[in-house]
Amino acid sequence: MKRTIAIVLFALLTPLLADEPTAPPKKNLPLPGEVLLVAGRTTFIIPGKTDAAARNKPWIWYAPTLPNLPGQEERWMFEQFRDAGIAVIGMDVGESYGSPAGRKLFTALYEEVTGPRGYAPRPVLMGRSRGGLMTLAWAVENPDKVAAFAGIYPVCDIASYPGVEKAAGAFAMEPGELREHLNEHNPIARLEGLAKGRVPLFVIHGDVDKTVPLDANSGRLKERYAELGGPITLIVPAGQGHNMWTGFFQCQALVDFVKSHAAPK
């Protein structure tokens, strides 16, 4: 009898529960902006100081967007972008490591902001640390949709970070399977399209980084991209590792590079 009553009550309450509005996503941002859901994922938009109704608005695509990122260390450069009329936009795709699932979510974000929201079809992608994997993995599959790439000690090689063993789950593969198909997903092995389109890259990466080693990531990126004929600038601050050094986040050369390439072509 009690079980029957419980079933009836559940049946009566289910429609009411289904109609309850989803709580809006929350996120602490370095600067005021909009927090919304795109494809069910927390997304942020820090608008540039420009006409909100304009079309083809310039923007920077930032990653990683995780619960505590972007952080206050990005505030200075985000202010420079905002004041130049350039929006900063990012989507939380979790620890995707540049996997197909993460790339699919990024495509949903791209379609949302370049469609009804009127942002430019060619943003500057900006990857900090493992955000490099996320942005570069999407960029190499969509070189015609990328104005430029800027990185702060970006991960460029899955095998270097987080390593095949740890990344395999995000790719829905066993480690051995991912290792066998690594070049089909690894940004460092898929740069031809970006180089053919002469998409400019700019990276700052310390020479004593032990978490994301320079040689295996930005160093190798520069070597391979230059071999392919692509334009790339690499700044290597001496004695700096994977840290919150102000020089990474208040790099005027990086800000000038982004601003020069974010304007719609």
Query: What's the pLDDT score for residue 22?
Result: 60
Pick the CATH number of 37-262 from 3.20.20.70, 3.40.50.1820, 1.10.10.10, 3.30.390.50: 3.40.50.1820
Neighbouring CB atoms inside 10 A of 250's CB total 15
Query: What's the pLDDT score for residue 143?
Result: 98
- Report the distance separating Cα 230 and Cα 146, nearest Å: 14
Orientation of helix 252-262 relative to helix 75-83, angle to 10° = 30
- Report the distance separating Cα 102 and Cα 108, nearest Å: 10
Give the pLDDT of the chain (265 residues) as one tens digit per residue.
434 433 333 344 333 333 344 666 889 999 999 999 999 999 999 999 988 778 899 999 999 999 999 999 999 999 999 999 999 999 999 999 999 999 999 999 999 999 999 999 999 999 999 999 999 999 999 999 999 999 999 999 999 999 999 999 999 999 999 999 999 999 999 999 999 999 999 999 999 999 999 999 999 999 999 999 999 999 999 999 999 999 999 999 999 999 999 975 5
Query: What's the pLDDT score for residue 265?
Result: 52
- This prediction's pTM: 0.89
Quick check: 135 and 105 in contact, CB under 8 A?
A: no
